[in-house]
Amino acid sequence: MTDPQTTLPAGKMPQLRVMPMPADANVHGDVFGGWIMAQVDIAGALPAVRRANGRVATVAVNSFVFKQPVFVGDLLSFYAEVVKVGNTSITVNVEVYAERNRLQVETVKVTEATLTYVATGEDRKPRQLPPLES
Contact flag: residue 5 with ligand COA (CB under 6 A): no
- Interface stretch with ligand COA, choices 15-23, 53-61, 70-78, 98-106 (CB under 6 A): 53-61
Q: Does 63 bind ligand COA (CB under 6 A)?
A: no
Q: Which of 25, 42, 59, 75 binds ligand COA (CB under 6 A)?
A: 59
37 scored as a contact of ligand COA (CB under 6 A): no
Measured CA to CA, the distance from residue 26 to residue 91 in angstroms comes to 29
First-to-last C-alpha distance (Å) of the chain: 40
Q: Does 118 bind ligand COA (CB under 6 A)?
A: yes
Distances (CA, A) of 42 to 3, 23, 35, 69, 102: 24, 19, 11, 20, 25
- Please give the DSSP secondary-structure letter assigned to residue 91: E
**Contact with ligand COA (CB under 6 A): which of 15, 39, 111, 116?**
116
DSSP per position, 103-133: SS-EEEEEEEEEEEEEEB-TTSSB-PPPPPP
Instruction: Please identify which residue in 12, 21, 86, 121 interacts with ligand COA, judged by CB under 6 A.
Output: 86
> Smallest distance, Å, CB 86 to ligand COA?
2
| 26 touching ligand COA, by CB under 6 A | no
Q: Which residues bind ligand COA (CB under 6 A)?
A: 57-60, 86-89, 116, 118, 120, 124, 126
